[in-house]
Amino acid sequence: MSKDSIKSLSEAIAKLETMSQAKTEKVREHIERDYEEIKSALDDMRPYFDDLKSKVEAEAQATKTQVEAKVKESPWLTIGIVGLVAFFLGLFLGRKDK
């Protein structure tokens, strides 16, 4: 190898490193900007999520209360329904189709 080719190869490597660092910085800036936008959007949506959470919790509590009342009202019917569901689940999931 001649000294000219080594010098030009060194220059090419140096130029590639410089370009790589510049691209890395651009990508980093884009990622940071996108991260901040996503974080801001989530912060803006937090009240909506909190409201949704409280509505779901209230609905779940109301449903739980209704189910408990029905079970207390007719426990044998509940036992029968649960047994029937368990039987069919066992029947379908326990099949050995070959």
What pLDDT band is residue 72 in, cutting at 50, 70 and 90? very high
Q: What is the largest CA-CA distance in the chain?
A: 97
Residue 22 lies in a domain: yes
Residue 92 lies in a domain: no
Residue 15 lies in a domain: yes
Residue 36 lies in a domain: yes
pTM, two decimal places: 0.48
pLDDT at 37 over 60: yes
Average pLDDT of span 38-45:
93
Residue range of the domain that includes 21: 3-70
Residue 76 lies in a domain: no
The secondary structure of 37-89 as a DSSP string is HHHHHHHHHHHHHHHHHHHHHHHHHHHHHHHHHHHHH-HHHHHHHHHHHHHHH
Total domains present in the chain = 1
Q: Which residue has the higher pLDDT, 3 or 85?
A: 85
